[in-house]
Structure 1
């Protein structure tokens, strides 16, 4: 039953069927060949998406769309440009800093990649070759699910149960997100120096920096309010996401005054389409998880790992290798739904810190968004830039190596992940 479902999924995915429907067809086939009642499929789908915490995902996606439509993205880029625009490789640095700012609003890699791709790639292409421009945007967009608020962390916390909270995972992503951005900026500086890219942008001016900080302060204050409120217990992640939408509307209509009523239908449509894709993935993937459960796959996997090693670090390394392979073929939300129930209890059994393991799980699956053959960000930016997947892959691989290297750093230096949450009582 499981073998049939897995084989059919890979066949359909390689043939180009959207992953949500490939998972759904595989689930249906698994139920059919398992001689089970097909009504289980809609029942499991409804059960998976009938969740109050999951409502945070479409709200954060909508907040990100409103921020872009309302001109907030322009102010974030201007602020980043005033800080690092004049250094060698400055526009690439601006891209990374802008991705950090947008990540603190949208919570998803796809939303960050779409916003950056449509706004900053034309400027990047004027100064750098197209492969370099595309790869910087793709790698930067991966900060979306790492820097809080993160849709991936919300899904992980829901699937992991009471072992880890959304607030703790949000805090765990702050320092690693900043450090990963700095590492990518260091790599960009080295590439710009080696290729002799000329400085771009206006000369750095304290007056200009202060001016852009003043214009961007109200926008940068948004994640402080939303994430701070969630972490501080003032409201839940779902309530915080709704507040983010109201804040984005305030910025667009009152602060920048670039958001118009006529823009709202398009914003709602884009947010609705993205949310529907995420919801469909979660719904269909829950059926695969159900098949795993009734086939006793979690127990078999646990027994296999126990037979291989009793060392928790060896076990952690094996799981990270498995997730790295899975991330190449399965979309992030589907991977969370299918694999968190398998590995999270096993990590606790081996004595691993649930918070540390949860962050590593999210980071590993997120890296899969930029790895071929089914890295979703590769296809998003390919559609925007009209570059082939092969051309993009040839430029993105150094960032893939860098991010996997950063994953290894977080694996063997847990304090990088856990220090901030522990300081605040998590």
Structure 2
């Protein structure tokens, strides 16, 4: 299957779905007709849904069409933007039953250990189609690492404007792929991105607008999470999603909405947005009844979803699915992270927000899925703590074992 297998036809405004744009060029600053100085409306990709062969969702489809597992999300190419960039084998992550009726979609199994690989396969593809020599991104973590990897795979340069307090492990990750990593104050990242786009001709693969719109093609990659959950489980009662700007939230909802539209399923799960209580722009937008808003952000260890600005995609996903936003304390996030670790799943603190959201809601009729977005390797505390050396005498080893609750 090739990039030409896509059934993508156009870009459509979420601000006014009657407004359509050609598929190319991909819009990197939202809908120019409906956006204002204070609210930016995203666009989404539209498809020739009447031409979709629903056998795409049959278990044997990939084998019948000679699609290798190493092709990654190309398994779903008809319902994705053109995939011009080479794959790193993204997608196909496991769905793990944590307890009866509760499943973890473990996105840390992607090539750069996060869900952002799905997005960057799509956005890097757009950069290649545009003839760009490189890409530029603003990110303090997963997005920057994934962008650097997919740029390297595609033979493009990558510039990452990152935060000054980016975890050392994440910084090393981005450098490993040859990215130009520029730590700057957070508020300066987006103006500097604009300058790189304007003066250097690099292609933007993260947000450039007042409220979040992001790249038109990015959230499309996240739909494949919904397709995979359906293939493994059917339609769950609810999906709990760690949420920052709301792109992942929207992508998961849209994937399930497409399955219903195509007649593959008859329902869409409720989608819950799981945000740190230190910020929560989506919760604020829903509470205030506005498309998107900006909030003050307090201290939190969940740096991956610690956003001051939201976007309209998240509002759409919650409204259309009958879901709601949840605000989570760092204590709730750490408890969920420990629970995952006790079952053998090492999640970044931000990634544990899905499970933390479920625990805050209490028992739900299942099945339910909690998306875990990335590896604990990327947390702020990684590399800061080491085990205390133990003298090699049995008495001291036994004391340490006993202090850990092990009979010796």
TM-score normalised by L of structure 1? 0.24
Question: 1 or 2, which has the higher helix percentage?
Answer: 1
Return the structure number with greater relative CO, CA threshold 8 A, min gap 6: 1
Calculate the TM-score normalised by the size of structure 2: 0.25
